[in-house]
Structure 1
Amino acid sequence: MPLDQAEVARILGVDVPPLPEHITSVTHDSRDVSPGAAFVAIKGFTADGADFVPQALERGASLIVAQHDIPGVRTAVVPDDRVALAALATELAGNPSHDLTVYGITGTNGKTTSSYVLHAILTAAYGETSTGLMTTAEVIIGRHHSMSVRTTGEAPEVQGNLVRMRGAGVTHVVLETSSHGIHLHRVDGTRYAAALFTNLTRDHLDLHGTMENYYRSKRKLFEWTVGPKVANADDAAGARMAQEISGTRTFGHCADADYRIGDVHRQGARTVFNLTTPDHGVLELHTPLLGDYNVHNVAGASAIALETGMSARVLTKAVSEMGQVPGRFERVPAAVDRGFEVVVDYAHTEIGLRAVLEVAREVAAGHGPDARLICVFGACGDRDKAKRPLMGAVASELADVAIITTDDAYSEDPQTIADEVAAGADMSHTSVVVDRQEAIRSALQVAHRGDVIVVAGKGHERVQHLPTGDIDFHDVSVVTELIHRL
């Protein structure tokens, strides 16, 4: 809905200079400016949006919004540029979340998998055309799939996707909500009908500074949510969340969990477990997802679905029939014909890497006593450096063969990052191959029948960020192509 000067002033809470025309769109990217747009000059981590004001004006921006006055430019000066961006984006979009049932999922690990599980359950209940999904991996609007840019997009992207979902007839949306999305106001203005918290482990301290700040950022989702809230009672932060936020129910193995996990066991290539519920008795859930961490992901998604009125029959059927999650213990079909397995996973912390390698170790053991576990992994640049040697130690402990390579190096030297990872590794069965494609090739070349290769860190992502620039790189595609070549 177009906004006049008085409406913009009301939304921003500051004086707004006269507008040549109504505001019809808002963006923080000068390349997306068109006549009638408000350009919010965000002062980012590496660039200042104020530097791009001339380009925005050249493209027809009707209003410049910034945290400081810009000489020679009529500017609406606001206390917080990101809050302003979200407020304008939500208002221009017509508050789409008020017409949708939005489920928010947050936590360090398991957000994406839990989001896919919940989306599968909702799709089984309401139909494919009535469900939407916004995750790290992709955006799904009914039957239409597109790649995501980041876990939680900037506010215009979030609100724009919600508008498109509403227009396409979607009624139920799963929104993976990262701490970045919360802290940087990307989801401000979104009305959450239900929320799920998975866990909290060390990550993103480059943004939050401390684990306490990280937790408080996650907790905001539960403070905002008007409906059911479910937290992982087996996680210390989840248990704390349940104590601090009234009305929060819990899931987990612990005896006092509202949704209690029990009798977990493997059944072929599937996981089976019981979920004791407050209102539906004991449900036996069968899932194609492996590992105790995925039991938690399925249990949490199931709990929030039941809390919002889902049928137990629909739930159990949906969990049983769901497919693979992109980049989350994703098995590469091309490897099967070669007699070994390749698994691609997004694990990029020592906790995540341990979890996926423990599951892969179980899979390898099922292939016979001689089956080995091979791990290709790296660590991100421009991020928390303390986890690098910890990742090296975990890979050395759990893998028979470990290959340290490059993840997203960003502005850092890949060799330096690899050396810091190697500092924590046992180099007797660890090597460093900086080029990621060559590292994957090395793993495939040494694999024997029955072995399991884990390629960790990038998961679903299709771009690798390097000091020399971004390149196209998708682990599943690279593995598949190399297998066909070998």
Structure 2
Amino acid sequence: MPLDQTAVARVLGVDVPPLPRPIVAVTHDSRAVVPDGAFVAINGFTSRGSDFVPQALANGATLIVAEAPIEGVPTAVVPSDRIALAALATEFAGNPSHDLTVYGITGTNGKTTSSYVLHAILTAAYGESATGLMTTAEIIVGSEHETAIRTTGEAPQVQGNLARMRDAGVTHVVLETSSHGIHLHRVDGTRYAAALFTNLTRDHLDLHGTMEDYYLVKRRLFEWTAGPKLSNADDVYGARLATEIEGTLTFGLAAEADYRISGERTEGTRTVFELHTPGHGDLTLSIPLLGDYNVHNVAGAAGLALEMGMSPQLLTSAVSEMAQVPGRFERVPAAQEFGFEVVVDYAHTDIGLRAVLDVARDVAGDHRVICVFGACGARDKDKRPKMGAAASELADEAIITTDDAYNEDPAAIADEVYAGADPRHTEVIIDRRAAIDAALGQARPGDVVVVAGKGHETVQHLPTGDVPFHDTTVVTELLTALRASSSATTD
């Protein structure tokens, strides 16, 4: 929807330079500017938005928005570039969340799995064509799937995808809402109908500074949401959230939880548990996921769905039939013929790694757990030795490798992880493919190999540049090569 000068001034709340024609689009990416488009010069962590103004003008921008005047360029000067970007993006998209039922899910761990669970429940209730999902792993619009760039895209992507869903006939959307998305105003302008909080553990302190600030950012989602809200009673921050935000219900093992979990047990490759609800009776849920953390993920999503009017019978059927979640304790089928398990998981903190290895330990029984993992560059360094300690305590063999190093030296990162590990059963193999290959080569029937850190991601960010890398694909390729090698040896 084109915006004339009066409309742009109203949205931004500031004076706007004369426009030759109405603005037809808005972006923060100078490469994506179209003729008669607006360019918002947001400042990134390592770059200044004003540096990209010449390219934006060359591509046809007729409005520049920035936090300070730009010499020689008529500029709409705003107090916050990111707030301005979100306001314009929402206006251009026609306030799409007002025509949708948007479910927001936030927390440190479990956001993506909870989002997929809730999406599966909604799909069972309303049909595939009426449901949408925006999460770390992918964006789903009805039956269309595409890879996501980040957990929560910038405002034009968020509002553009919501508008695309609305226009395609989607009515219910699950929006994984990260602390970056909230703090950097990427979800400003979104009206949430319901919200879920999974937990809060140490992560992203490079952005937030302290756990308190990290929590307060997450809490904003609940402050924005007028409808049902559920929080994890077994998490100290989740329990606190329920006392601070009126109308928040809880889920968990705690005796006082509104949606109380009990009787968790493993039945083959499934987990069964009871969910005691405040108004829907006691439900027995059987899910194709393992681990107590996944029980919490399902319980939270199920409780929120029930609060939004889902029938208990439909809910029970939906969670029973849902598919694997990409990169979340994702079992690689090609390993089955070798008699061992290979699991790919997104765990990239010490808490997340412990949770995944705990489940792997249960699956392995008396056999070994072999863990391949690394730590991100350009992130909180304090968690690196803690990850090394977690792997040493819970895995029989640990191989430290490269995750997303970004601009840091992969070997230096590995050294920091190794500092917390037990050297007696830990080795360092910097090349990630070689590390996975080494783990598979030593796996025996009954063992469980955990490849942690990148999960669903398809690109590895290295100091030398980005390279394609998808753990599940690499594992499958290496297993194919291992099969061929075994066949040749046998012949």
TM normalised by structure 2 equals 0.98
1:153 paired with 2:168, answer no
Letter in 2 for 1:309: G
Q: Secondary structure at the match of 2:342?
A: strand
Give the 3-state SS of the residue equivalent to 1:203 in structure 2: coil
Question: Given residue 318 of structure 2, which amino acid in structure 1 is its aligned partner?
Answer: A
Structure 2 CA distance for aligned equivalents of residues 287 and 407 of structure 1: 30
Aligned to 1:389: 385
How big is the shift at 1:197?
A: 0.2
Aligned position for 2:487: none
Residue 320 of structure 1 deviates from its aligned partner by 0.2
Q: How many residues align?
A: 482
Residue 20 of structure 1: how far off its partner (Å): 1.3
How many angstroms does 1:263 deviate by?
A: 0.4
Q: Distance in 1 between matches of 2:396 and 2:84?
A: 52
> What residue number does 1:213 align with?
213
Q: Is 2:453 aligned against 1:457?
A: yes
1:223 CA displacement: 0.4
The alignment partner of 1:380 has SS state of coil
The reply to whether residue 135 of structure 1 matches residue 135 of structure 2 is: yes
Counterpart mapping for 1:11-26 below 5 A: 11-26=11-26
Which whole-Å deviations, capped at 9, do the CAs of 1:31-77 have from their partners, x for residues lacking one? 10001211000111011111010000000001000011100000001
Equivalent residue for 1:293? Answer: 293
| Matching residue of 1:111 | 111
The counterpart of 1:414, out of the listed 410, 413, 417, is 410
Cα distance in 2, alignment partners of residues 176 and 36 from structure 1? 32
Correspondence for 1:439 among 435, 449, 457: 435
Question: Aligned partner of 1:319: which letter?
Answer: V
Q: Aligned partners of 2:165 and 2:189: how far apart in 1?
A: 16
In the alignment, what sits opposite 1:189? 189
Which of 110-119 and 43-52 deviates more? Answer: 43-52
Corresponding letter in the other structure for 1:259: Y
3-state SS in 2 of match to 1:420: helix
Q: Structure 1-normalised TM-score?
A: 0.99
Distance of 1:106 and 1:83 partners within structure 2: 20
Is the counterpart of residue 331 in structure 1 residue 331 in structure 2? Answer: yes
Provide the C-alpha distance between the structure 2 equivalents of 1:304 and 1:340, rounded to a whole number of angstroms. 37
2:464 is the counterpart of 1:468: yes
Cα offset, 1:116, TM superposition: 0.1
* 1:192-341 superposed matches below 5 A: 192-341=192-341
Q: Which one-letter code corresponds to 2:158 in the other structure?
A: V
Deviation digits for residues 335-367 of structure 1 (CA, Å, limit 9, x no counterpart): 0011111000000000000000000000001xx
Counterpart residue identity of residue 104, structure 1: G
In structure 1, C-alpha distance between the alignment counterparts of 2:439 and 2:150, rounded to whole Å: 29
**Post-superposition offset of 1:21:** 1.0
Q: How far apart, CA to CA, are the structure 1 residues paired with 2:258 and 2:289?
A: 23
Task: Provide the residue aligned with 2:489 in structure 1.
Answer: none
Q: Which runs of 5+ in 1 are unaligned?
A: none
| Aligned twin of 1:33 | 33
Where does residue 485 of structure 2 map in the other structure? none
- Deviation (angstroms), 1:115: 0.1
Distance 2:36 2:215 in 1: 39
Q: Deviations over 1:199-218 (max 9, x none)?
A: 00000000000001000000
Q: 5+ unaligned residues in a row in structure 2: which ranges?
A: 483-491
Aligned counterparts of 1:10 and 1:184: Cα–Cα separation in 2 = 22
Q: Percent identity?
A: 75
Q: Which residue of 1 aligns with 2:45?
A: 45
Deviation track 1:365-398 (CA, whole Å, cap 9, x = no partner) reads 1xxx3x1000000000000000000000000000
